[in-house]
Amino acid sequence: MTSYDYQEALKNAAKTMVRVKNPRRLLKMIVRFIVKEVGLSHASILMFDQLKSRYIFVDSKGSHRIPINLIKLDQSNPLIQWFSDPAPKAKLNKDFLACTELTSWLQNSEMTHHNAPLKARLLQLKDVLETLKATVCVPGFYKDELLGVLILGNKLKGGQFSLEEISFFQTLANDASMAIKTAEYQEDLLSKNLQLEKQKRELEIRLQEIAELRKKEQETYYQIVMSLAQEVNAKDPYTAGHLKGVERLGIMTAQEMGYDLSGRKKDVLVASLHLHDVGKIGVPDHILLKPASLTEEEWKIMRQHPSKGAKILEPLSGFKEVANVVLHHHENYDGTGYPDGLRGEKIPLEARIVSVVDSFHAIVSKRCYSKGQPIDAAFKELERCAGTQFDPHVVEAFIRAYKRTLNGKHHKEESAHRLAS
């Protein structure tokens, strides 16, 4: 190869090294390239195996190639020592090792008595070179770390390597070392990245599991709350089994008012209609079921049931609106109700509807403290309290819807009872 050829070859090799991400493949390419382009009996690459801290052959090509996977060179091997030991190496060139140079040194008359240790070392080194049939060895460093050794056989055309050729191999060896280190770092980064991704996925799965558990827990809690509500109703023999009727009347009223029941709004209304009295579970039976008027003290306790109900619903994250309706279903339109004395539109609409439907029920059903009254009397009572206790719009809508249903059925009393029950 001419000087121009080497420069071209180097340029091409450098370009390839940038592209090849797998260092092993890169080394194989280098070995093939050298054997073919330079024309050698063989070329081999020794590479550092970090895991087992030894040097192994990763590739060897040519007629005198070294079998891959047969030999390892320990760090104590004379050849490895020669390159990795930073101690000065006599007058020998330490950037590469040429067999001819070594031989001439050993034959040199200067190699006298006091050089015995060095001579022994060089003899061992020569032995290794002969075993590997190496003419020239070129180390590849990254910083001060010996990453590998390029081992070259004879030139097929005969003759010694020129300095230009050796410097070409050195450049190749060092570029390859750089490429190997870069690939190692990239691989390291990649595996760290993968690990992070894995941890992230695991975390997501855990979070999802927690969310599902929470959901399940909430569902269970909701079941408990619903059975509490039924319990409360069952306690009062006159309202037992009325929940379905209350639900129907409430929805009817909301629709009559033109209230949008799409999405979750219907669920909130229905749940509120069912659960508004759930707090009564905290009211003692002797007050709740007393067949006479309540004393002031007893009323005080009775009036706690909306806030008790809201408290029961508190742990249900999806029931914030329902809890608010439950809390305010005894507020009056004129602000005289409890617990907060809210007025007018400040009271949630659902609570205003619950208030009317619940009161209607109380009037028409034969509760323990008063005899049941006919539907017309109940309407009159609602109208009388419209604007004070009740939202007049709700009362109006309720009566209109109720009457329309009655007319539609043509069975006044019967239907009324079915609706109310």
Partner 1 sequence: MKLLIVDDEVEICDFLKSFFEERNYEVKTASSGQAALTAAEQFKPNVVLLDIKMPGMDGIQVLGTLKKKFPRMKVIMVTALETRDKIEECLRLGADNYITKPLSLEYLENDVREKIEALTSSGAS
Binding-site ranges for partner 1 (CB under 8 A):
54, 56-57, 65-67, 69-74, 77, 130-131
Closest approach of partner 1 to the CB of residue 214, in Å: 50
In which element (H, E) is residue 43 found? strand 42-49
Per the structure block, which two tokens stand in for 263? 């999405």
Per the structure block, which two tokens stand in for 81? 């020592």
Per the structure block, which two tokens stand in for 317? 């994250």
Distance between CA 8 and CA 2 in Å, rounded?
A: 10
Closest approach of partner 1 to the CB of residue 148, in Å: 15
Closest approach of partner 1 to the CB of residue 106, in Å: 17
Q: Closer to partner 1 by CB, 131 or 208: give it.
A: 131
Q: How buried is residue 258: exposed, middle or buried, by Cβ count under 10 Å (0-12/13-18/19+)?
A: exposed
Residue 167 identity: S
* Contact between 406 and 398 (Cβ < 8 Å): no
Cβ neighbours for 163, distance < 8 A, ≥ 6 positions apart: none
Distance between CA 67 and CA 374 in Å, rounded?
A: 108
Distance between CA 28 and CA 26 in Å, rounded?
A: 5
In which element (H, E) is residue 97 found? strand 97-98
Distance between CA 402 and CA 354 in Å, rounded?
A: 15
Closest approach of partner 1 to the CB of residue 207, in Å: 43
Q: Write phi, then psi, for 369 (nearest 5 degrees).
A: -100, -5
Closest approach of partner 1 to the CB of residue 97, in Å: 18
Q: Report the b/e string of 369-383 with b at 16+ CB within 10 A.
A: eeeeeebeebbebbe
Q: Closer to partner 1 by CB, 56 or 281: give it.
A: 56
Closest approach of partner 1 to the CB of residue 126, in Å: 12
Cβ neighbours for 238, distance < 8 A, ≥ 6 positions apart: 365, 366, 367, 368, 372
Q: Closer to partner 1 by CB, 152 or 172: give it.
A: 152
Q: Closer to partner 1 by CB, 97 or 351: give it.
A: 97
Q: Write phi, then psi, for 145 (nearest 5 degrees).
A: -90, 125
Q: Closer to partner 1 by CB, 57 or 402: give it.
A: 57
Q: Closer to partner 1 by CB, 9 or 56: give it.
A: 56
* Contact between 243 and 229 (Cβ < 8 Å): yes
Q: Closer to partner 1 by CB, 70 or 292: give it.
A: 70
Q: Closer to partner 1 by CB, 154 or 365: give it.
A: 154
Q: Closer to partner 1 by CB, 67 or 291: give it.
A: 67
* Contact between 268 and 322 (Cβ < 8 Å): yes
Q: Closer to partner 1 by CB, 123 or 377: give it.
A: 123
Select from 188, 84, 58, 183 the least CA-distant residue to 141: 84
Q: Report the b/e string of 88-124 with b at 16+ CB within 10 A.
A: eeeebeeebbbbeebeebeeeeeeeeeeeeebebbee
